Chain A
Amino acid sequence: MKELLTDALLREFLLGKVDEEERERIEGLFLTDSQARERVLAAEQDLIEDYLEDSLTAADRDLFLARYGQTPAQQRQLRINKSIKNWALRETASTHVVPAKISALSHLRERLRLKSPFIIPIAITALIAIIVVAVWFSSRREQQNRHLAIEQELAQLNTPSSLREVPPQMAPLELSPVAIRSVEQETEFKKTADTRVVELRLPWIQKERYATYQAEVRRVGDDGSFTIPNLQAEGDGEPVIRVRLPAHMLHRGHYQIQLNGIASDGSMSLPEKYQFAVSG
């Protein structure tokens, strides 16, 4: 039975993609068999690592965040994992880059003594390349960290308990689906220094209702997007889904929101799209 616990299957299980019978089998082994337990937890570590490296598909990332990024404790766990990984990468980079720099410098000195007209520019170019790579590496890591922090902040702002509170300096923004507001002007949000949080109110015009909803927020022209899973519809008539965004993540430009309903079996509805512009 244990032999059937492949990495691929465990990943499907951890993302909630297996059927009830398989889930029962794996959970039973997880609780009663210490080896199976360690395999599941090791597979979970791999999954977390892939999330932190941004290697998951968009769909898997959403499923992941719905399980591992909801509560403050889970978010802290992710930050701890990220810290351990960053430490290892930092240490490795420093032990590899420093000797390379020293050796390049001593090499340069040696060549300077020989006064070769060709070696000096090559050595300088190599040094510049090393510095450029190091700067790029560090800025990329910084970007990843920023993205992760915003994603966690979004998850935190949009938990049911957070949504029941009304934080100070929050600006509401009513949006209509693009399909029905094509002739109207785009809704504009004027960002001020006082605004801390923007609450988007997204009416759900499709007939079908869903267990949860997820929103994907994207700034037009940017590569990345932010996903907010596990949103709930509110209201008896036409339901509205509220999404809160920290104002600091919004920059001048156009934003698009894609909203999907998620059925209890995990299937996704057709999307509703909304857009707005940020100015100020």
Chain B
Amino acid sequence: MVRDSAIPPESFDEILDWLDPDRDVAAEKYVQLRHDLAKLFMWGRCLDPEGMTDETFDRVAKKVHDVKPSYQGDPRLYFRAVANNLIKENFKKVKTQVSLDDVDLPERQTVVTTEETAGIEECLHSCLQKLDREKRKLILDYYAKEKQAKIDHRHELAQRLGISVETLRVRVFRIRASIEECIESCLKRKAQRK
């Protein structure tokens, strides 16, 4: 996707202020919003979620000055509406098969290589070393079984910990998200070293 401008600093400040008057909270919300919008684009089957998230912020930046004073409700819902329009535009483009050259597709990468898999394994190992022992044990227990057996196993695990299965699931999700983040950074570092 071709964007014609970067966000001017004053618009960026206005966006942050709109997200939250407290600058630190706003910065946190901004980072999370970027991540969440990329998810919406992925769910909307867009091939370049990051690029479309940039485009969403660009579009909001152009309107924020006019929209902000009169907008009622959580501003993140306005971002969602802009993102949704972009998803529809993208879908129309694909559907009508307008020249694919207009769409900024992610660059082709090499197919799965053993080197890449080995890199992930290596990073996983190093990230698990950094993980708190209790968390490591919890992840290990949670994924100890597969398919049907895992359902009973997770109920037992939740009971043992004195929490609901739902709480267990969210707890594991947080640990797992931190491992994934660690692996991603580790892979990035490896790529930079090459």
CB distance from A87 to the nearest CB of B (A): 6
Choose one: B40, B91, B106, B107; the contact of A264 (CB below 8 Å).
Answer: B91
- Contact indicator per residue, chain A 230-268, by CB within 8 Å of chain B (1) or not (0): 101100000000000010000000000000000010000
Is B71's CB within 8 Å of the partner chain A? no
Is B89's CB within 8 Å of the partner chain A? no
Give the residues in chain A near B42, CB-CB below 8 Å: 67-68, 74
Are A88 and B45 interface neighbours, CB within 8 A?
no
Is B135's CB within 8 Å of the partner chain A? no
Is B183's CB within 8 Å of the partner chain A? yes
Bound: A222/B177 CA distance, A: 36
Choose one: B43, B91, B140; the contact of A91 (CB below 8 Å).
Answer: B140
Are B77 and A16 interface neighbours, CB within 8 A?
no
Are B117 and A79 interface neighbours, CB within 8 A?
yes
Q: Which of A38-46, A98-106, A120-128 contacts B (4 or more CB under 8 A)?
A: A38-46
Are B169 and A31 interface neighbours, CB within 8 A?
no
Closest to A34 in B: B32
Closest to B100 in A: A160
Is B152's CB within 8 Å of the partner chain A? no
Are B45 and A157 interface neighbours, CB within 8 A?
no
Give the residues in chain B near A14, CB-CB below 8 Å: 43
Is B147's CB within 8 Å of the partner chain A? yes
Give the residues in chain B near A87, CB-CB below 8 Å: 124, 128
Is B144's CB within 8 Å of the partner chain A? yes
Is A132's CB within 8 Å of the partner chain B? no
Interface residues on A, range: 35 or more
Are B106 and A71 interface neighbours, CB within 8 A?
yes
Closest to B121 in A: A83
Is A70's CB within 8 Å of the partner chain B? yes
Are A160 and B80 interface neighbours, CB within 8 A?
no
Secondary structure call for the A interface: helix
Q: Which of B2-10, B58-66, B108-116 contacts A (4 or more CB under 8 A)?
A: B108-116
Choose one: B43, B111, B146; the contact of A53 (CB below 8 Å).
Answer: B146
Are B111 and A92 interface neighbours, CB within 8 A?
no
CB distance from A17 to the nearest CB of B (A): 11
Bound: A156/B112 CA distance, A: 9
Are A212 and B94 interface neighbours, CB within 8 A?
yes
Is A51's CB within 8 Å of the partner chain B? no
Bound: A92/B183 CA distance, A: 21
Are A160 and B111 interface neighbours, CB within 8 A?
no
By the criterion of a CB under 8 Å from any partner CB, how many residues of chain B are at the interface?
57
CB distance from B1 to the nearest CB of A (A): 13
Are B91 and A159 interface neighbours, CB within 8 A?
no
Choose one: A31, A68, A83; the contact of B33 (CB below 8 Å).
Answer: A31
Q: Which of A161-169, A178-186, A199-207, A269-277 contacts B (4 or more CB under 8 A)?
A: A161-169
Is A30's CB within 8 Å of the partner chain B? yes
Are B169 and A46 interface neighbours, CB within 8 A?
yes
Bound: A76/B116 CA distance, A: 9
Give the residues in chain B near A27, CB-CB below 8 Å: 40, 80, 84
Are B112 and A79 interface neighbours, CB within 8 A?
yes
Give the residues in chain B near A70, CB-CB below 8 Å: 45, 47
CB distance from B179 to the nearest CB of A (A): 6
Is A37's CB within 8 Å of the partner chain B? yes
Are B147 and A156 interface neighbours, CB within 8 A?
no
Bound: A31/B80 CA distance, A: 8
Contact surface of B with A, Cβ cutoff 8 Å: 33, 36-37, 39-40, 42-43, 45, 47-49, 74, 76-77, 79-80, 84, 91, 94-95, 97, 100, 103, 105-109, 111-112, 116-117, 120-121, 124, 128, 139-140, 142-147, 166, 169-170, 172-174, 176-177, 179-180, 183-184, 187
Smallest CB-CB A-B distances: 7 pairs? A88-B143, A161-B105, A72-B109, A92-B144, A42-B173, A31-B76, A153-B111
Contact surface of A with B, Cβ cutoff 8 Å: 13-14, 16, 24, 27-28, 30-32, 37-39, 41-42, 45-46, 53, 55, 66-68, 70-77, 79-81, 83-85, 87-89, 91-92, 149, 152-153, 156-157, 159-162, 164-165, 211-212, 230, 232-233, 246, 264
15 A-B pairs with CB atoms under 8 Å apart are A13-B43, A31-B36, A31-B37, A31-B76, A31-B77, A32-B74, A39-B170, A41-B177, A42-B173, A53-B147, A73-B106, A77-B180, A87-B124, A88-B142, A162-B108
A30-B39, A45-B172, A89-B146 known; 8 other A-B pairs, CB under 8 Å?
A: A30-B40, A42-B170, A72-B106, A77-B180, A79-B120, A81-B180, A84-B143, A264-B95
